[in-house]
Every structure is written in C-alpha cells, then in structure tokens.
Amino acid sequence: MVEKNDSCPICKKAGDKVKNTTVEHMVCDELVENVKSEDYYLCMDEECDVVYYNSDLDSVFKKRDVKVPIWFKKDAEPKYVCYCNEVTEEQVISAVVKDNAENMKDIVRLTGAMKNGQCEIKNPSGKCCHSVVQSAIDKGLQFKNKKN
Ligand SMILES: [Zn+2]
C-alpha cells in the first residue's frame, strides 16, 4: 500500500486532516464543483498561502479561494476564533481585559462564542473552536496580568 501524502505542496509541512464537507463549505461558490469527493488536508503553516490540498496534490485551494480568513495564517483579518458566531480574537481579549471575563463560561455569555456551533461546516478546520477560544482567553489573561 502506498503511504498517503499529508505534506503541503508548497511548504512541505504536514497538514491536519479535514473532511470533504468542510472544504465544500469553505471554498468560494464558483470553486465548489472543483472540490473532489475525498478528504483534504489543511496547511497549518502561518506563512504558507495554501489552505487545502488533497493527498494526490492535484486539488489545491489557496487563501484567495476560501470564503473566510484563516485565523492562524499571516494577515488574517478579522481573526475569528469562533466562526459559527463570528467572534474575533480581539473581542475575546477585550472581554477578558475590559469586562473581567475569566473563563469559557464568561466568554460564552459576553461574546456569544460557541453558541449553536456548526464547526464542521463553519470552521475552516472542521473542528470545534473550543481550544482556540481558550488560547485567546489565556492571551487576554496574560496581557491583563502584565498590566497590573
Ligand atoms: Zn503549506
């Protein structure tokens, strides 16, 4: 059996597996028909222009081919942490710094993040945004502790 290739065609780094359904919902409408009926990989490299690619590397989607900014890629604007409710990293940090949010529960209440989650079709990774929201909270807390 041939080993499945999981390396990005441009940066050569290993990507994260993403379901076909997720890719179909993320690429621009006119490109949906080009999405193959197989699972893809998401390039996790911040500098790399590639977003999705398949293991045969004959189907590649770059940043401009995708409807939303990819939060961990360079120059993502806005930087969403929760795509389902369009909550940005900035909103989460501000809720921590200005509104004294301390944990996930506070953030859900203050920003509406993670409500009615449809991460499989709304998040570019197809995964729940929980850990990304958590790291934004941690960032906010760190920032706040530094200031005090
Ligand atoms: Zn790449």
Distance 115 CA to ligand 1 centre (A): 31
Whether the Cβ atoms of residue 14 and residue 7 lie closer than 8 Å to each other: yes
In a domain, 119, yes or no: yes
Specify whether 99 is located in the same domain as 52.
no
Distance 70 CA to ligand 1 centre (A): 13
Specify whether 141 is located in the same domain as 100.
yes
Q: Write out pLDDT tens, residues 92-138.
A: 999 999 999 999 999 999 999 988 889 999 999 999 999 999 999 99
Write the CATH number for 96.
Answer: 1.10.10.1100
Looking at the 3D structure of the chain, how many domains does it have?
Answer: 2
pLDDT band at 21 (very low <50, low <70, confident <90, very high): very high
Distance 37 CA to ligand 1 centre (A): 21
Q: Write out pLDDT tens, residues 40-83.
A: 999 999 999 999 999 999 999 999 999 999 999 999 999 999 99
Specify whether 92 is located in the same domain as 128.
yes
Specify whether 50 is located in the same domain as 93.
no
Residue-range definition of the domain harbouring residue 39: 16-65
| Kind plus residue range of the DSSP H or E element containing 90 | helix 89-97
In a domain, 72, yes or no: no
In a domain, 55, yes or no: yes
In a domain, 22, yes or no: yes
Q: Which residues pair with 16 in a beta bridge?
A: 42
Specify whether 46 is located in the same domain as 103.
no
Please state, as a whole number, how many other Cβ atoms lie within 10 Å of the Cβ of residue 124.
24
- Chain-centroid distance of CA 105 in Å reads 21
Distance 62 CA to ligand 1 centre (A): 9
In a domain, 11, yes or no: no
Distance 35 CA to ligand 1 centre (A): 18
Q: Write out pLDDT tens, residues 98-109.
A: 999 999 999 999
Write the CATH number for 45.
Answer: 2.20.25.270
